[in-house]
Amino acid sequence: MLAGAVSAYVALRRAAGVAFKSEARLLTSFAAFSASRDQSHVRAALAIEWAALARAVPQRARRLAIAARFARHLRAEDPQHEIPPPVFGADKRPRPVPYILSHDEIQRLVQAASQSGYRTLRRETYRTLFALLASTGLRASEAIHLQIDDLTPDGLVIRCTKFRKSRLVPLHDSVRAGLERYLKRRRAYAPTEPHLFVSLRRKPLLLHDVESAFRTAAKAIGLPQQPVRARPTPHSLRHAFAVTALQACPDGRDAITEHMVALSTYLGHARVADTYWYLESVPALMADIADRCERFVIGERP
């Protein structure tokens, strides 16, 4: 039966560093569905029928894609397994166009956060958090999981990130000074809580709280609020950091390669392609590329 093959496949993926949680649950469901039809091999028609049990088309596409990858793995040793076609479309939607905050917008956003709500630690918490995201490119989820001990003389230790890897993020002296100012007030407010950023409940911040505080500050300075093609979110602070770093990239093929690899590592990207994505998704960077290409073609130094 397929249950044993699923267990071996899940173990293999996790050994390669992939969390594989929801995928494991879905494949277990698919194996049980196949067993109920007395099938010990992946059958394309059966995989499509199982995937169609999901309500939404994107969910069906994802379920079928997971089953197809599993079938492709098994088929390498047993050609009796069938790889189902993507009848529900691609399982991954295109990445949304990022909203790139300008330097002025970031300053006004941080200032708005420092004036939002009552005169409590909340103001200093979100002021410091948003400034940290903008100056380091951290994910909001990484920042709210930081603990006080993660602030070291060498920088911030980001532990078990999105891709189950840890990394060290160096800090500018001004950023470190800002964190120390915040900690001076925060330690007195919640002395036993190990997390760096805390809510008024004296508990770690929740991502929902961060998003709500960001929307309040963004609205206060007049940033777009409607679900348009590109709108600001806490992740926009990370986007702005990445774009600024790319714009500072030196000339020369070797220098550019080293810069991109360093930036990809700094941001905690699993693939350097995720860093190059900014080049094609940000109009300002595309314009820079076009300008350099044009000057190269006409014989000028880029």
The catalytic residue positions are: 139, 162, 235, 238, 269, 278
- Cα(224)–Cα(215) distance, integer angstroms: 10
The residues near 62 (Cβ < 8 Å, ≥ 6 apart) are 54, 91
Are 10 and 20 contacting, i.e. CB atoms less than 8 angstroms apart?
yes
Helix axes 272-281, 235-247, angle to 10 degrees: 90
- Cα(220)–Cα(116) distance, integer angstroms: 9
Are 183 and 133 contacting, i.e. CB atoms less than 8 angstroms apart?
no
Q: How many CB atoms lie within 10 A of CB 299?
A: 6
Q: Give Cα 165 to chain centroid, integer Å.
A: 13
CA distances from 62 to 47, 86, 105 (A): 12, 9, 37
